[in-house]
């Protein structure tokens, strides 16, 4: 059965004291970048007050989760000190987690930032490094019971687009995620805490990103729900010849493909449009309003 009505080995996500059911409808994770240099919304919500206001708006627009990040991971980006990353996001996470019922995720690969964010109210760690880039991250997640997103990426954001050759794209991503799952479990992280993300735009060419979306269900063999994040990325611009501000329709097309190939969570900038798009797809699948 297509879409989110597909059978999944496990559609439960445990996130620090709460269990999310991922078999009823697709969840929308709203992106909240508190950065000056993210590829699409960099600089729009730099101040805590602006970021908080936007986070509240995303929740009102239909976000099921919010993903707050203070460090750009766009291709070629260079890291900032962890203290600056934490300073950007902690007031935002603290306010949103105390004023919203929906879970807050912290988008970081640094253990100390994750630890502080979880203390401030976050319940999920979205780690683009899949526990590789900071040796302490696995312990932070294991001790906290937080939800965890493991994403495929080659190297680090600064260099990830320098080599996009794969001998077998889907199998190499699958093997990487399988190894990272086993690594996390070996440190006491329950597999029901984990989602997997094939890493659209992270060390892949435009053609490879589209191949991943077309064959997303191949990662269901890992037994964990799939998150995808194609929102306004450069491969959409490559196909449509459009700048990031004109990639909404291309993003929704990718979300539609992801829906029919097994995605349980979609990470997007455009929450309202995505929520309505998915609600319509789900209504058609179920044959009722």
Quick one: pLDDT at residue 40?
A: 45
- How many angstroms separate the CA atoms of 186 and 180, rounded? 10
* 91 burial level (CB within 10 Å; 0-12, 13-18, 19+): middle
Rg for the chain (alpha carbons), in Å?
17
First to last CA, the chain: 19
Neighbours of 137 (CB within 10 A): 26
Nearest C-alpha neighbor of 166 from the set 219, 202, 134:
202
Neighbours of 83 (CB within 10 A): 10
Measured CA angle at 33 (ends 191, 118), to 5 deg: 45
Show the low-confidence residues of the chain (pLDDT under 50).
1-5, 39-40, 42
What positions carry a catalytic annotation? 233, 267
Quick one: pLDDT at residue 162?
A: 84
pTM, rounded to two decimals: 0.93
Strands 65-69 and 263-268: unpaired
* Homologous superfamily (CATH) for 3-286: Dihydropteroate synthase-like (3.20.20.20)
Quick one: pLDDT at residue 84?
A: 94
The per-residue b/e assignment along 218-247, b for 16 or more CB within 10 angstroms, e otherwise, is: bbbebebbbbbbbbbbbbbbebeeeebeeb
The owner of tokens 């479990």 is 185
Give me the residue spans of the domains in the chain. Answer: 3-286
Quick one: pLDDT at residue 287?
A: 85
Going from the C-alpha of 273 to that of each of 8, 63, 146, 246, 248, the distances in angstroms are: 26, 11, 29, 14, 9
CA atoms 202, 228, 226, 56: torsion sign: positive
DSSP3 helix / strand / coil % (the chain, rounded to 5): 45, 15, 40
Quick one: pLDDT at residue 6?
A: 52
The owner of tokens 């006491």 is 188
- How many angstroms separate the CA atoms of 46 and 13, rounded? 31
Quick one: pLDDT at residue 47?
A: 78
CA atoms 216, 205, 244, 239: torsion sign: negative
């Amino acid at each position: 059965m297509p879409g989110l009505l597909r059978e999944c080995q496990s559609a439960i996500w445990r996130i620090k004291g709460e269990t999310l059911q991922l078999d009823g409808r697709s969840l929308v994770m709203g992106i909240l970048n508190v950065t000056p240099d993210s590829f699409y919304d960099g600089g729009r919500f730099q101040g805590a007050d602006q970021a908080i206001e936007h986070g509240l708006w995303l929740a009102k627009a239909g976000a099921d989760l919010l993903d707050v990040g203070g460090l750009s991971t766009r291709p070629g980006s260079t890291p900032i000190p962890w203290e600056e990353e934490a300073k950007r996001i902690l007031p935002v996470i603290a306010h949103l987690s105390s004023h919203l019922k929906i879970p807050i995720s912290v988008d970081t690969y640094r253990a100390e930032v994750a630890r502080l964010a979880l203390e401030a109210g976050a319940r999920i760690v979205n780690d683009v490094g899949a526990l590789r880039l900071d040796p302490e991250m696995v312990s932070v997640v294991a001790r906290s019971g937080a939800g965890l997103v493991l994403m495929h990426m080659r190297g680090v954001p600064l260099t990830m687009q320098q080599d996009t050759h794969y001998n077998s794209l889907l199998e190499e991503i699958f093997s990487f995620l399988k190894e990272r799952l086993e690594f996390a479990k070996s440190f006491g992280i329950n597999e029901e805490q984990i989602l997997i993300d094939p890493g659209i735009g992270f060390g892949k060419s435009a053609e490879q990103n589209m191949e991943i979306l077309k064959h997303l269900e191949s990662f269901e063999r890992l037994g964990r729900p799939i998150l995808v994040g194609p929102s306004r990325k450069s491969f959409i611009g490559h196909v449509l010849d459009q700048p990031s501000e004109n990639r909404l329709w291309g993003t929704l097309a990718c979300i539609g493909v992801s829906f029919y190939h097994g995605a349980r969570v979609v990470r997007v900038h455009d929450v309202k449009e995505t929520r309505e798009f998915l609600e319509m797809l789900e209504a058609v699948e179920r044959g009722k309003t």
